[in-house]
């Protein structure tokens, strides 16, 4: 993770802590025109996502023992979902995420579904945590077409609801999708992909 990424992520976290310390009062004229007093956020969401994850790639089958490491070469991330975050009670956030990657080793896309439980401390700050399911598709390698295999993972973090329609999330994410192929006359080959690290999301709620 570069210094700018770490600084930006730290600023989001610091803002969340400050909001929590202030009891969620962003300003005295903050009007929640679409959120009731018992809600942090409720509605459909669209998210811009940037991950700062490390990527570990391990060979499977005939290429077991091969291992590669690189910083996650994410080009962009976009999520759509639904949020129902309650103050002082359990809520939930779900979303489907598409991440596109382009690097020295990997070229492809990952589709990930996240299912999170939430707890809101006040109108502005909440925590979340849950599981994810992921499928990754990669370009053919030397004419070999790989099939996607479902992977499991988890995530947890803190969210800051800055207005009724805009917020941010910062957390740790871990996901482990895989691909495999059967090469005629040779055998099975594949790759396990492990993404782990920080993930930042800018979230619009409607």
Q: Tell me, what's the pLDDT at 144?
A: 80
Nearest to 32 by CA among 88, 82, 89, 85: 85
In this prediction, residues 29-58 reach a mean pLDDT of 80
In this prediction, residues 10-24 reach a mean pLDDT of 51
Q: Tell me, what's the pLDDT at 3?
A: 47
136 — pLDDT class (breaks 50, 70, 90): very high
Residue 138: pLDDT over 90: no
In this prediction, residues 106-123 reach a mean pLDDT of 94
What's the distance, CA 10 to chain centroid? 17
Secondary structure string (H, E, C) spanning 27-78: CCCCCCCCCCCCEEEEEEEEEEEEEEEEEEEEEEECCCCCEEEEECCEEEEE
pLDDT digits (tens, 9 = 90+) for 150-164: 999 999 999 999 998
Q: How far is CA 11 from CA 17, 18, 166, in A?
A: 10, 10, 17
In this prediction, residues 126-144 reach a mean pLDDT of 90
In this prediction, residues 94-119 reach a mean pLDDT of 91
Residue 32: pLDDT over 70: no
Domains of the chain by range and CATH? Answer: 3-22+41-205 (2.40.160.20)
pTM of the model: 0.79
Q: Tell me, what's the pLDDT at 72?
A: 66
The percent of residues in the chain predicted with pLDDT above 90, rounded, is 55
Residue 36: pLDDT over 80: no
Instruction: Identify the DSSP state of 139.
Output: -
Nearest to 136 by CA among 114, 154, 109, 113: 109
């Amino acid at each position: 993770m570069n210094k700018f990424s770490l600084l930006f992520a730290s600023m989001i976290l610091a803002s969340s802590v400050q909001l929590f310390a202030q009891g969620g009062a962003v300003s005295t004229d903050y009007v929640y025109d679409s959120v009731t007093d018992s809600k942090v956020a409720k509605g459909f969401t669209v998210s811009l996502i940037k991950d700062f994850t490390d990527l570990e790639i391990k060979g499977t089958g005939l290429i077991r023992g091969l291992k590669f490491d690189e910083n996650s070469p994410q080009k962009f991330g976009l999520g759509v979902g639904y949020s129902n975050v309650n103050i002082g009670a359990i809520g939930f956030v779900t979303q489907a995420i598409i991440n596109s990657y382009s690097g020295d080793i990997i070229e492809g896309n990952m589709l990930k579904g996240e299912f999170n439980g939430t707890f809101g401390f006040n109108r502005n700050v909440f925590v979340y945590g849950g599981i994810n399911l992921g499928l990754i598709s990669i370009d053919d390698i030397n004419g070999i077409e790989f099939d996607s295999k479902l992977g499991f993972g988890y995530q947890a973090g803190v969210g800051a609801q800055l207005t009724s329609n805009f917020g941010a999330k910062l957390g740790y994410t871990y996901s482990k999708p895989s691909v495999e192929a059967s090469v005629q006359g040779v055998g099975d080959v594949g790759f396990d992909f492990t993404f782990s690290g920080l993930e930042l999301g800018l979230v619009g709620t409607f």
